[in-house]
Amino acid sequence: MYRLAVAKPSRNMDGGHGGGGSSRVLSLFVLAMMNTALVVGLEGFPTMAGFGLSLVTWYLIFGVIFFIPVGYVAAELGVGFPREGGVYEWVREALGVRWAFTASWMQWIQIVVWYPSVLAVCALAAADILAPELGESKWFTVPIIIIVFWCSTLLNLFGIQLSGLITSLCLWIGTFVPTVLAITFAAWWLLDGQPSQIPLEPRELIPDFSSIGKIAIAMTLFSFLSGLEVNGVHFRRVKQPTRSIPWSLFISVILVLTVSILGALAVGILVPQDGESMAAGPLEVFRIFLNEYGLGGWLPLLALCVLLGMVGHMIVWIIGPVETLRYAAKDGVIPPAFQKVNAALVPKNLLLLQAVIVTVICTMYIFIDMNNVFYIATVVSAQLYLVMYILMFISAIVLRYTRPDVERPFRIPWGNVGIWLIAGTGALAGTIGIFMLFVPPDSSNLPLSPGFFMTIVAASFIVAFLVPHFVFALRKPEWKNAHLEDVHHKPPMDF
């Protein structure tokens, strides 16, 4: 039934697998939707809404110093080194296996930390479909969280062609539709003379730099604008890659910034900043608006849309980082059991291991207040991901000098000055972001002492950073699968 499931991997001049014929299953549109689904998440709207109108400025700042550099670098590396493995292969080519494994590990572990946050939105949406009061019961939300994650995991086992199409559908129904409705409701609310929960004067566009704690909260935007490079593992399966890859990334950048800014503004206009559930977001917009105008009966349908959107957001995240980590297994960094794929070329064992780990973490939330750890999870996730981005930016610069002969159908302009400017800006922003995220936020919504906050964040970051180096040191020669080595390229030096 699925051509992808029976297609045999083939080699081509680029040295990758699955480069020809029937394996090219992703169109420009599907790739752009998958890219957008990776980044746009409704779970980030409440946090950004707390900045008021200045969230527009914050998004634009981070778009220039981080998000656009990610898109440019991913486009150049994606068409210049379009092999399955994405970030792992890019960093491996430039810095060696150790740092490639570190990058892929960071990309994977940060998403494991992040999953419960987005799953909480799924649980609240499910409660609004059935009975809103169920959202207060952990004995309802935790099982729903686990069921949704396992269903999304099992769906990915059927292959990228099916999951990519479902992701595109969920993105339109569950992210664009709710966001457009939230924006429409917010505009209607203001035009009807209803009060905004945030000031809308032009001077409010200027961010508040009065304390380092306020700036630290803005650093969470690194988390909310991350993920554009994840589909690099699928670039080998894209139709007309030299055209589709850069254009899909360009389209995604525009869509992500537009949807995120307007969606967060809608939440800020309608939802009081009074410490309500940090996962509520657009659901609160719908609840407030519909109840005000006597249309509360429509809430379950809109909650279903939100649920589908978050599922689509998660489906594409579940497979991307796992695919990247599988390529570390090929180099013998982790046990051979994790190299295995099923008939649809999906790393089944890695997916199932990830599902078990996430299940254990989510079960712990029966005993923990989700609101207390939502911000911490976002901070730690952002820090870990920034390590990967710094390695990716450095790799782009290194490869301009060590592999200048590689054809790059898309190349960051202005020669080596351009690569230093774009990738260097991204790397510098990421480095500053890591250190800034250690700073406790100025927020009454986080009932933790500054000392405890810094201890938890620092310990989590240090342990997560050291684990891949520890695992790398314990690797065994027999773990390496020599048949999957890229014979067209000289193996890079292990640092």
| 448-470 mean pLDDT | 90
Tell whether the model's pLDDT for residue 20 goes beyond 50: no
List % helix, strand, coil for the chain (3-state, nearest 5): 75, 0, 25
* HEC assignment per residue over 376-421: HHHHHHHHHHHHHHHHHHHHHHHHHHHCCCCCCCCCCCCHHHHHHH
More confident residue, 410 or 66: 66
Tell whether the model's pLDDT for residue 277 goes beyond 60: no
Least confident residue range of 150-154, 303-307, 326-330: 326-330
| 371-382 mean pLDDT | 79
**Angstrom distance (rounded) from CA 56 to CA 188:** 20
For 150, phi and psi rounded to 5 degrees? -65, -40
Tell whether the model's pLDDT for residue 84 goes beyond 70: no
**Position 268 in a domain:** yes
**Angstrom distance (rounded) from CA 402 to CA 81:** 13
Answer whether 140's CB lies under 8 Å from 127's CB.
yes
pLDDT at 60: 93
Q: How sure is the predictor about 403, in pLDDT bands with cuts at 50, 70 and 90? A: very high
pLDDT at 376: 83
Least Cα distance to 338 among 350, 351, 320 occurs for 350
3-class SS of residue 54: helix
Answer whether 221's CB lies under 8 Å from 58's CB.
yes
Answer whether 63's CB lies under 8 Å from 228's CB.
no
3-class SS of residue 146: helix
**Position 19 in a domain:** no
pLDDT at 191: 94
Which neighbouring-strand residues pair with 26?
Answer: 238
Least Cα distance to 78 among 14, 172, 160 occurs for 14
Answer whether 484's CB lies under 8 Å from 410's CB.
no
Tell whether the model's pLDDT for residue 367 goes beyond 70: yes
Least confident residue range of 141-150, 336-345, 387-396: 336-345
Answer whether 297's CB lies under 8 Å from 87's CB.
no
CATH code at position 319? 1.20.1740.10
Least confident residue range of 92-101, 260-269, 480-489: 480-489
Secondary structure element (H or E) that encloses residue 108, with its range: helix 97-130
**Position 9 in a domain:** no
Provide the residue range defining the domain that includes 278. Answer: 24-476
**Angstrom distance (rounded) from CA 156 to CA 167:** 10
pLDDT at 281: 64
**Position 211 in a domain:** yes
- Max mean pLDDT among 27-31, 40-44, 104-108 falls in 104-108
Answer whether 163's CB lies under 8 Å from 185's CB.
no
**Burial classification of residue 134, based on how many CB atoms lie within 10 Å of its CB (0-12 exposed, 13-18 middle, 19 or more buried):** middle
**Angstrom distance (rounded) from CA 44 to CA 26:** 28
Both tokens of residue 171?
């993105």
Cβ neighbors of 128 (< 8 A, separation 6 or more) are: 135, 283, 287, 299, 300, 303
**Angstrom distance (rounded) from CA 42 to CA 59:** 15
**Angstrom distance (rounded) from CA 94 to CA 103:** 12
Q: Please give the DSSP secondary-structure letter assigned to residue 23.
A: G
Tell whether the model's pLDDT for residue 115 goes beyond 60: yes
| 338-363 mean pLDDT | 85
Answer whether 383's CB lies under 8 Å from 107's CB.
no
**Position 412 in a domain:** yes
Q: Terminus-to-terminus CA distance in the chain, angstroms?
A: 45
**Position 7 in a domain:** no
**Position 493 in a domain:** no
Please tell me the total count of domains within the chain. Answer: 1
Compute the mean pLDDT over every residue in the chain, rounded to the nearest whole number: 81
pLDDT at 234: 63
pLDDT at 217: 86
What is the distance, to the nearest Å, from the Cα of residue 51 to the centroid of all Cα atoms in its chain? 22
pLDDT at 460: 92
The half-sphere exposure of 411 on its side-chain side, counting CA atoms within 13 A, is 15
More confident residue, 304 or 398: 398
**Position 8 in a domain:** no
pLDDT at 400: 96
The half-sphere exposure of 433 on its side-chain side, counting CA atoms within 13 A, is 30
Tell whether the model's pLDDT for residue 410 goes beyond 60: yes
